[in-house]
Chains A and B, each alone.
Chain A
Amino acid sequence: MAEVRPDEVSAILRKQLSGFDSEIDIYDVGTVLQVGDGIARVYGLSKVMASELLEFPNDVMGMVLNLEEDSVGVVLFGESNLIKEGDTVKRTKRLASFPVGNKLLGRVVNPLGEPVDGKGSVQHEKYMPIERKALGVIARQPVKEPLQTGITAIDAMIPIGRGQRELIIGDRQTGKTAVAVDAIINQKYTHSKEAKAVGINPVFCVYVAIGQKDSTVAQVVSKLDEHGAMEYTTVVSAPASTPAPLQYIAPYAGATLGEYFRDNGQHSLVIYDDLSKQAVAYRELALLLKRPPGREAYPGDVFYLHSRLLERASKLSDELGGGSLTALPIIETQQGDVSAYIPTNVISITDGQIYLEPNLFNSGVRPAINVGISVSRVGGNAQIKAMKKVAGSLKLDLAQYRELAAFAKFGSDLDKSTQQTLAKGARLVELLKQGQYAPVPIEKQILSVFSGTQGFLESIPVKDVKRFEKELIEYLDLKTHEIFTEIREKKSLSDELTEKIKNSIGDFLTKFKRSE
């Protein structure tokens, strides 16, 4: 057994204490007047700042939310039964803040930056306040680079750009989290050497879990780990069992970390899963702080709650390094009611939304995206030219299909052109189906969309479409790999290349074995 020599111990102690000066400590204090339900009212603290952190006994921290005439309303980040009336509260003179730095990647932390994954203490570069003012007009530039989610339906029709805010909205069990997790997994490509060679910058991801089950968070983390996505991802977890104040600050903490990457000229993707639960947590706090309730009992500033968060998503100007923060907020609707208070608010704040529908989900269309009402208001610049070219008619074809499909249910005699539209639509819908955790690279997406919109699928039975797509991609990858390379490098389709693709697909079509 190793021996511990007393002089060694004292040497270490002396070293540790060398910086310790026994100077007089000056601090401001207050007294707890009332405590309960995660809220404390404190008397004194006359110079305290809004959203300053306070130190209570038993290592409980609190954050100032209300500054009143004679008292201060404080939300507690710990157990309120550890605090008694009459306890002394110390000011920290520090605003609520979150540790940032590259070492946070791969970690699961709570909204205060404390690790919850059991991998030891978190190394951080510095602390940044969780509430920061969003950047102004001068500091920004229009969104111009695409953020590929790896989901064909989204990348083709509802493209998301770096620096955009795109809402993912839908009922429970419609695959909202799946879309977000797929988007994170697909960023793995951006960290590769090939991506660097064609000028695609890496995207760092932050997944903020608010008010979810601990088991769900653990599942997401293990899936990300399995696909090697934790290397560039931080999970900020405020599960349902944590006090409401922590759930309330979680998205701001996530945004702070995203901003760290953005301000360093890098790119980040922050997912807030989900903001309806955060609004509920905030409502709880507001009601306990006796702020007057408004519609659906939410306080008056619940719009500002989300707008100030989502405004922090931005694409920086080139002078500031050109970094970006893309936000994918998630909202859960009840029974498809998008006209409820929180969904309408967040819809109006974001640059577009992805609707997920239970009907589609149950009929096997997964991801269950309703492309008819999903939009992305950033538009063309978020897509590479090649994709823009092939996907142009996709949305229109699908819209026509949906319109006719509703009619076709009643009539039996349909003219030829109607039948054609229906057949094409059914194949396109089939083509856009995609498994979970299986993001598709953009060049492969382009090829499959191309085969669909150019009418190559007409002779393929609907049930064979998925197999056709898979085998086509495999075939092209083997035979004419240069097509993919060219799309990736040039990002556009020249007439020559289009011709080449057409020929290759034509070749494959003759070899494809239709099922009986």
Chain B
Amino acid sequence: MLTFIARRLLLSIPTLLFISFAVFMLLQLAPGDPMAQVPLTVPDAVKEKMREALGLGEPPLVQYWKWLVQVFWIEPKVLIDYLTASSTLFSWLPDTALYQGELRVISWQTRSPVMDIVVQRMPQTLWVVGLAYVVGVLIALPIGVYSAYRQYSVFDQAGTFVTMIGFSIPPFFTGPLLIVIFSVGLGWFPSIYDTTHEVTDWDSFVVQLQQMIMPVMVLALQTTAQISRYMRAAMLDNLGADYVRTARAKGLSEAVVVNIHVLRNSMIPVVTVIALGVPAIFGGAIITENVFKVNGIGQLLITALFANDLPMVMTLTFIFAVLIVLFNLIADVLYGVLDPRIRYD
């Protein structure tokens, strides 16, 4: 198992390098110029200096190498410095001063390090997207189990119809629809996610809950549709198996047979699907964040794209790629851990 994980981790390094290289070369073709906003009165020599300060003006391969160094060498140093200096968890360690003021990945929009902005935006995305995923999975599992247990019943037919709808209605339609119904028509929830809102007491917690309900539900609908389909299929595969007949024959109650014997076996493929879906939901959240004006990672990517902020786009795309590769690995490992019949050697 350990050798398998090690091999997969090693294999993911060239994959990630290739992806980052491809994206970097793609971005080199971008028509925009970061100096376009600079006034025309600025002399060309000064502009050239400014361009060099942003790390431009060198051959693309050199730029790519510098980007690699910045992301894999300088940014970790900043992170370690932060951890040992000001985080609560590791501040007992002696202060390391690894970061000596080298050039970090700089955003062309704000002229500040990309990673700082990403760290600022991360909590909103994680709260909304993460909660949506958990809610979606929690709704999906019982629906899938019960639809499979009562196959072709009214509940199953209705569940299939709802999951089909969840597959088919895109988030950029459900989002505005929910806003029209619940914030314009009924006035229950705000239509815009207020990131500056701080939870201090019960009332502000209720406000936070209200503004989170709609984006979470939009994202959760899609998760529910997918996961409950898989759950139903996996349960159906197992319900007809011989060991289920044995369990029933030895007099176990239906609840024990379904919830312990069948469910645990059916969860094996479903858990991997859940793991595989995590990066996809980050990507899908781009649209939902845009609809509800959540200023998370997806919204950051969109604004960076429109502002021609290539280092930001590059780094964010790379973060998405890392998430995908990482969760693919986690899914494979989970599969092996949960199912002892799978052998990776």
- Mutual binders A and B: no
Interface residues of B (CB under 8 A from A): none
